[in-house]
Each structure stands twice: as structure tokens, then as C-alpha cells.
Structure 1
Amino acid sequence: MAVPRCSLFCLLVIFYVSSIYGYEPTWESLDSRPIPEWYDEAKLGIFIHWGVFSVPSFASEWFWWDWKGQSTPAVVEFMAKNYPPDFTYADFAKQFTAEFFNAVEWAQMFQSSGAKYIVFVSKHHEGFTNWPSAHSFNWNSMQVGPHRDIVGELMNATRSNTDLKFGLYHSLFEWFNPLYLQDKKANFTTQNFVKFKTMPELYELVNNYEPEIVWSDGAHGPVDYWQSREFLAWLYTNSTVKDTVVTNDRWATGTLCHHGGFYTCSDRYNPGFLQKHKWENAMTIDRKSWGFRRTARLSDYLTMEEILQTFVETVSCGGNMLMNVGPPHHGHITPVYEERLRNMGKWLKVNGEGIYKSKPWTYQNDTLTKGVWYTKNNSSGSTTVYAFVFNWPGELLSLGLPLVSEVSKINLVGDSTFLDYKPRSTKGVDITIPLYSVNELPCQWLWAFKITAVEN
């Protein structure tokens, strides 16, 4: 049930009173909050970018800015050739029809991927809200376009038909909102956009839809301007999701990769080595865009091998991967995305034991054989290491790092047959691989070897 509505100034009073018993609006206090365990165990989420930008679907979700902000020649030419001179970006909203959008089908498809949470774009930088926001008059999905509460439908479908956690992305700034532009011109010494538009939207989203992930973006401006710390203190202390909600790090200029919940640091962030703080790799299946592109070629989409390699590297280094899907304006997710999602699920059904609830091992990737990355699981009382192999090893797999003994056991995940192995002189192991036929292999694209009772 949604908590009672309150004005921003009323909420500010609540912040400071509640801080006696909860989190204070300071980074020292907010950063002390531990990440809820469910998020670290989940490892995989699905990002969904859908909005008015899905109508032109020409360059990317930044279409409006490319057209009217920085005047990208290709976009300007596209509009000149295909639309009348008096056509505005707002006219695209009428064509955001969502006639094939079926929230239950979406939710079930996302669960089939093996993901444990979704993050849906409730509002991108264009300012169009995918819910009937009281703070976005005539620029929301109920009053124009679909005439539906997209966020509400997806929330209900997700919670009624799956066990996925439901999260929402929200852009703090809006490219062409007059209030934001006025505040920016005043060097952020005024806060009309924050007080009357974007922060009220955030409270509205949390109160009405209770997302368990609040994924903020577009935080161009100082933290005092955005009042982000006050919002997070309320979210962590007084909201209905205070015990389970997870947030990211995009709350103001300078907070990226420094403050907030999990760190995102940059789009498609994949550092390749273990991070000290929980992080997320928000990445795209389409190499060039988060939103749907009608001009995309097959070669623009990541292959399953590329997706899985990125995923394993991310998990090995302590991160989660948030894999993006960009639906067309009509709402039917295209086959190339569906194929990638369902194949991800097939792979995780076999190899999930080395992914879900796993922890980074002492080493992330092997020093002897390239294309081998590790995770570990200590649940059995001894260390079990999973070696994810990007290239099928043939008759022998030589690993330079696991320290095994005579009590260790090794098998290909998905096949219970224990493999013969020989410890190397000081550290490492040579594993004999039987001659599998293609049909005997438990999965495709990338393989995991389970090594129990590892001594390091």
C-alpha cells in the first residue's frame, strides 16, 4: 500500500526527525548502509529502455537531443527527409502506441533469461513518464500515446507471475524542461525543477510502485541542488521498501563511482579486475544503442559468446550484469532479443550453480590459460572453485592457479562424471577431458568446470 502523500517541505521535516533512528542525509551515513543480500546473490538483471524515443528508433534513445540539442547531421537529415517542417518531438508521442505490449509476456520472457530482477525505464531524459504522473501533465503514458499505466502493468505482471525483483530507472534531469534550463542558467542556485518536478516524481514512484531498485541517472548538477541525500535518507529509513531497496551511484555530479549503493561508474563498465565495492555492469545487446533501432544490422548485436564472456568476467570481479533490451514502439520484443534472453536462461540452468550466490575467488582469471575466469562457493564447508572456459580445451585443460589435492574432485558442470587430473609441480592442475560428442555437452558457448576442495 502506498504511504500518504506529503509535500516536499513536509518530507524534509520527516528526514531530519527520522534520522535519529535511521540514516542521515550525509554520505557518511548513507554509504554505511550495506547492500541487501538478495542483490549480491542475483548476479543478472534485465534493463528495459522504452519510451517516445522508440518511435523514431533511428539513432538511439538520445534522438531528441541529437536532433534539437547538438544537431547531429544524420538525425537532422532524417527528419528533413521524412517529416514535415512543423513536426515536433512531442508529435512522436501520439505514435507511441504500445498496441502489442503484453506485460505478462514480458515478465515471463525476462524470467526465462535466468535474471533475478528487472529495471524498467520509467522516465528517460526526454521527460516522458511511463506512468500517469501528477507532475508531468500531458507528457505521460496515460494522457498521450498508449493511454496506459505502463509501469503499473509491468509491476503487477512481474509480481503476480514471476519471482523477479521489480526496479525502476528514473532520469533526474530533462534535456529541454524549462524549469531545469532556468535552474541550470542560474548555476543551480534555484531549485524549481527539483522541488516541483523531478523529486516529487521520485517520491511518487516509490510510494505508488514500491520498486526494490531505484536506478537514478542524468544527475548533472551539485548534490545540494538535487537533494539526493535527503531522498536516500527517506528511502532507507521511512519508505515501505527501506529494508530491501537497492540504489546506484548517479545522484549528482561527482557521486558516480563514489557514493550511493552499487557503483556503475560508466555505461558498459567492465573493469576486468576485482572491485572493492559492489558494482554493476549496465550493458547493451545492441552495441550502439539502449533504445530500439530500426537500422540495426545483425552484426550490431552481441553474440551469445560475447554476452556470456562479459557476464562471467563481471561476476568473477564481484559485479552484477544488467543486460538491456530495447523494445519497438508497439511493444512486441523482437526475436533477436528474445533469442538472446532465452539462450541466457538455457545456459544458466546448467551453470547457475557457479553464478548465483557465488563470490569472487582469490584470483579472477587464470595465468596459464587465457579465457578462463573463476568464481567460488564456500557453502559446503570447503572451497569449491568454478573455472569458466571461453574456448573448448580439447583433450587437456591446464590451469595455473587452483591448488588441488588427492581429495579434490573435478567435473564439467552439467555432467556428474568426475574427470582425471594431475596436480602441476607447485600449483595448478592438468585436467584430462574425455572425447565428448556435441550432443553430450551439457551446454553451448562457454563451459564451467567445478573443482571441489581447493586449498587456496
Structure 2
Amino acid sequence: MLAAFVLVVASLVSQTAARYTANWTSLDARPLPSWYDEAKVGVFVHWGVFSVPGFNSEWFWWHWKGLHDQVCVDFMNKNYPPGFTYPEFAPQFHAEFFDPVEWADIFQASGAKYVVLTAKHHEGFTNWGSPNSWNWNSVDTGPHRDLVGDLGEAVRKRSLHYGLYNSLFEWFHPLYLMDKSNGFKTQEFVMRKLLPELYNMVVRYKPELIWSDGDWEAPDTYWNSTQFLAWLYNDSPVKDTIVVNDRWGAGCACKHGGYFNCEDKYTPGKPPPRKWEKCTSVDQVSWGYRRNMKLSDLMTLPNIIGDLVRTVALGGNYLLNVGPTAAGTMPPVFEERLRGVGAWLRVNGEAIYASKPWRIQTETNATVPVWYTSKGATVYAIVTNKPSKTTVQLLGPKTSATTKVTLLGIPKPLSWAPVSPNGGLVVLLPDLPNAPGRAWTLRLDNVQ
């Protein structure tokens, strides 16, 4: 018995001390920290110098000077003096009304469990005082404030997980352009700018999620991605809690990393083989703030709720983006959408948080659209459109004599009848209360 005990202890110590090596076989085998799958809902925040022109999208600088998009060229010629350069927008990024506590309150009210802020987008401007981005960061110019740190403190006080978006490449950084012109056979940008900045960011802010992007122009060997991730998983101050996505080099998306993004607004038709996330934006045209945004450009609340439900039913997380203004205010229409999601989750969150995909994810032959989630022995049928009848038919569940059906938000059991001996049930609905997002959840206990 003593020998067996020693073997068990040795095994546990070995597991605890296991280290990941700098290759995808080892890194991809790391279990995803449980908090991420349980969270299900997050808020994405695109904010930076691009919020000042507030035109076209957060890619404005590239569209103007990289692609020479005539729409952007004309916009600048009409509204700014000759010779005006993009860096001259930075001093106008005042963030004078930025109140991180107010933002954190909105994010908490949205029902989100994690928040991801752009620490650095492709323009290279960092929303913190990066020592590797002299005079092109939010402390040296513009707000003269540590935006990453201030929001992180407020978010964490509300027990929300905090993540940071970081672009690997920078459109016009001279070291990156030099490496690019050399066919990425040199790594001056990576060694002198990217990696020192990433290490500093992790040690300083201890994010629980790194949302990597801007990887597609070069392979992961150029970015030194596997070496960085091995350090992140083995020795960093967040090694036990950190979650990362799959954008670490050309060809890595939907193949390597912590969870799959695959592509912006990724919408699979069935559960992927790995944990995944759909990132999408309330403004369907842009991720960053646009001054010429129209109401017709925005996702409606019912569309957001339907998208969220579909994503979670297929095993994904839902990361919903908003773009604050350069002044640091949250556009009221974005706040309204976020609070609407939260109002729906306060009633229906039981079917979302910490849920798992059921054996059937959706029914196409039901009387109304239905998506399923599960939690233990309980199954949730989420109806994403108000039924035109007083009944709803669910063909997937197999009932028993002890089956119980309730509507979340109304504790009284509902009447139901089996469809056939092989399964299915018809539920008699009560007068459905008005629901934010026009979606209701039936809880089914003791079904298979």
C-alpha cells in the first residue's frame, strides 16, 4: 500500500510539474482553464487613435495610406490641411470623459463574464505606457493615462475576467517593414519591439486572456509564437489562468492555439472539434467607433440574442464588440444593446453560463426555431422567436413519466403531452412575458 501511495504522489507531482515545450504538439495539448468555457459571454472593446477620425473603420490608416482608398483620401483632403499625418491624430485622442468605473458597470450589467480591450491595434499605438513604443502610447501623448491599467482595475473589482487584444504586426513600423522587405528572414521587429512589449504587458497587467491578431503575413516561426506561449504556460505570472486564441502565425488559425477564432464573425454549422469563440460587433461595418454610423448598420437586440444562443448551443463563447469614442464615452446605442443582453441573461442565463452542447443543438422541423443547451441532467430549449400558437412542439427530447417543464422566469410547471412513444413533446405555453431579444427558455428536467 505504501508503494502504491508513493506512486500516486509521484504521479501527481509529475503532473503538477509538467512543462510545455515550444512546439504545437505540446502547446495544443494544454487544457483550457475552466473559467473560459464557463463564462460564455464577453465584451470586446476596440479603442485607439483610430477613434479620432472615426471614419471608415479601425483600419482607416491602412485604407488611407496603404491602399490609397479614394474615399479615405477624399475625406482627408476635404477635412484636414495638406500634409496632415496620421500620428497627428494621437494628441486629439483625449479620452477626457473616460470613466473606467462607468464602463465596468455597463459591462457587468451586460451579463458578460470577461472583457477584452485593445492594448494595441495594427496602428501600433499602445493604450498603456509601453517602454517599447516611445511617444506612441496613451501615457506619452493623447490621454496621458494608462487606459489598460485603469480599465483593468475597475473590471476586476466587479469579478470580471480581463483580457487584452494585441496585434503582432504594425502596418508602418520601420523595423517590421524592414523584416517584411527581407522576406521575414530577419526578426528585428520581433526581438526589439514585439516580444519585449508582450513580456512587459503580461508581467505588468497579468491578463487572463490574450487575443492575438495581425499574424497572417508571416509564419509563427517569425513571430517566435511557440517560444512565447511556452513561457506564458510555464513561467509567466498567469500560467495557470491564461487563455489564448489561435492567431499566432500564417496558417495557425483554426488549427493551433488555446481556442479557435478561425476568422472574424466565425459561424460554424456544427460544433467544431475544439473550444471556439465568435467575435462580432454591434456595428456590423466596423469594430472601432465611426462618427458616420447609422442605426441600420447596427445589430438589433433580437439578432444579438439569437446569435448568442446559436453560438453557445454549438459550444462557443460569444464576444460582442463595441467601439467607444475618442472622448472616452460609450455611445448610448451600444450601452442600450449591452444592457439589453444583460436583461435577457438575468432571466435566461441559467441556460447559458457553464452550459454544454446537448446531443441535439437545434431543430429545423420544430414549430419555431429552437436551440438546445444542457447542464447536467437538465436540458434547455431556447425559442428564438415568439410562437404564433399557444403551444410549442419539441421533437428531440425523449420524455418520461417524471419529465417536468418550466419556463425560466416563471416557476409554475407547464402542461405538456408526448408527441409519440419514440419521443418529442408538445408544451402548452402561458402568456409569454415581453422578453428582451424576443427569446424564451424552456427548462426540461428528466428527459433524454
For the superposition of Structure 1 and Structure 2, which TM-score range results when normalised by the shorter chain?
A: over 0.9
- Residue 373 of structure 2 corresponds to 375
Answering whether residue 226 of structure 2 is matched by residue 212 of structure 1, we say no
The answer for the alignment partner of 1:388 in structure 2 is 382
1:197 aligns with 2:193: yes
Task: Quote how far apart the aligned CAs of 1:432 are.
Answer: 1.1
- State the match for 2:403 in structure 1: 408
Q: Using a 3 Å threshold, how does the CA distance of structure 1 residues 224 and 403 change in structure 2: closer, same or farther? A: same
Hey, what's the Cα distance between the residues in 1 that align with 2:431 and 2:374?
27
Contact 1:291 1:326 in 2 (8 A): yes
Check the 8 A contact 1:39/1:246 in 2, yes or no: yes
Asked whether 1:267 is paired with 2:264, we answer yes
Alignment partner of 1:302 is 2:296: no
Residue 434 of structure 2 is aligned to residue 452 of structure 1: no
CA RMSD of aligned residues (A): 1.3
C-alpha contact 2:111 2:346 (8 A) present in aligned 1:
yes
CA contact (8 A) 1:385 1:451 kept: yes
Aligned AA (1:391) = N
Which residue of 2 is the match for residue 427 of structure 1?
A: 423
Tell whether 2:211 aligns with 1:234: no
Aligned equivalents of 1:417, 1:61: Cα separation in 2: 49
Counterparts of 2:436 and 2:59 in 1: how far apart (Å)? 38
SS, match of residue 454 in structure 1: coil
- 2:393 is aligned, of 395, 398, 409, to 398
Shift of 1:342: 0.8
Q: Distance in 2 between matches of 1:254 and 1:191?
A: 19
1:186 equivalent in alignment to 2:179: no
- How far apart in 1 are the matches of 2:430 and 2:231? 58
Is the partner of 1:154 in helix, strand or coil? helix
Corresponding residue for 1:37? 34
Tell me the TM-score normalised to structure 2 length.
Answer: 0.94
1:59 aligns with 2:56: yes
Matched, 1:124 2:121: yes
Q: CA deviation at 1:170?
A: 0.3
Q: Deviations over 1:182-223 (max 9, x none)?
A: 101111100000000011111011010000001100012011
- The runs of 5 or more residues in structure 2 that have no matched partner are 1-16
Counterpart of 2:218? Answer: 221
AA at the equivalent of 1:415: I
CA deviation digits over 1:136-162, x for unaligned, max 9? Answer: 0110101111011111111111223x0
CA distance in 2, matches of 1:207, 1:95: 30
Q: Give the distance between the partners of 1:135 and 1:339, measured in 2 at CA.
A: 37
Inter-partner Cα distance in structure 1 for 2:365 and 2:73: 52
**Which residue of 2 is the match for residue 5 of structure 1?**
none
Instruction: Tell me which residue corresponds to 1:74.
Output: 71
CA contact (8 A) 1:272 1:314 kept: no
One-letter amino acid of the counterpart of residue 144, structure 2: H
Residue 272 of structure 1: how far off its partner (Å): 3.0
CA distance in 2, matches of 1:329, 1:49: 11
> Do the aligned residues in 1 keep the contact of 2:45 with 2:321 (CA within 8 Å)?
yes
Q: Distance in 2 between matches of 1:96 and 1:301?
A: 24
Partner of 1:326: 323
Deviations 1:304-351, CA, capped at 9 Å, x for gaps: 100000000000000001100100100010110110111111110100
SS state at 1:274 partner: coil
CA distance in 2, matches of 1:81, 1:98: 25
> Counterpart of 1:349 in 2: which secondary structure?
helix
Q: What is the alpha-carbon distance in structure 1 between the residues aligned to residue 135 and residue 381 of structure 2?
A: 53
* Aligned twin of 1:142: 139
Local SS of the residue matching 1:373: strand
1:284 match: 281
- Alpha-carbon displacement from aligned partner over 1:354-407 (angstroms, at most 9, x marks no partner): 0001000001101322521100010xxxx2111111111231101111111110
On the 8 A contact 1:415/1:442 being kept in 2, the answer is no
Aligned in 2, Cα 1:183/1:267: closer, same or farther, shift over 3 Å?
A: same
Q: Kindly provide the amino acid, as one letter, of the partner of residue 388 in structure 1.
A: I
How far did 1:442 drift?
6.2
C-alpha distance in structure 1 between counterparts of 2:248 and 2:412, whole Å = 50
Q: Does 1:88 align with 2:81?
A: no
Q: Distance in 1 between matches of 2:202 and 2:227?
A: 14
**How far apart in 1 are the matches of 2:430 and 2:357?**
28
Whole-angstrom CA distance in 2 between matches of 1:434 and 1:248: 43
Q: Are the equivalent residues in 2 in contact too, given 1:367–1:400 (CA < 8 A)?
A: no
**2:347 aligned with 1:353, yes or no?**
no
In the aligned structure 2, how far is the partner of 1:406 from the partner of 1:275?
A: 35
Within 2, Cα distance between the matches of 1:400 and 1:274?
Answer: 20
Secondary structure of 1:294's aligned partner: coil
What's the TM-score once normalised by structure 1's chain length? 0.92
Aligned length: 429
Q: Which amino acid aligns with 1:376?
A: S
Question: Equivalents in 2 of 1:102, 1:396: separation in Å?
Answer: 47
C-alpha distance in structure 2 between counterparts of 1:225 and 1:274, whole Å: 32
Aligned partner of 2:9 in structure 1 is none
- Correspondence 1:174 to 2:170: yes
Instruction: Give the Cα separation in 1 of the matches to 2:364 and 2:325.
Output: 44
Q: Percent identity?
A: 53
| Contact kept in structure 1, 2:203 and 2:236, CA below 8 Å | yes
Q: What secondary structure does 2:362 align onto?
A: coil
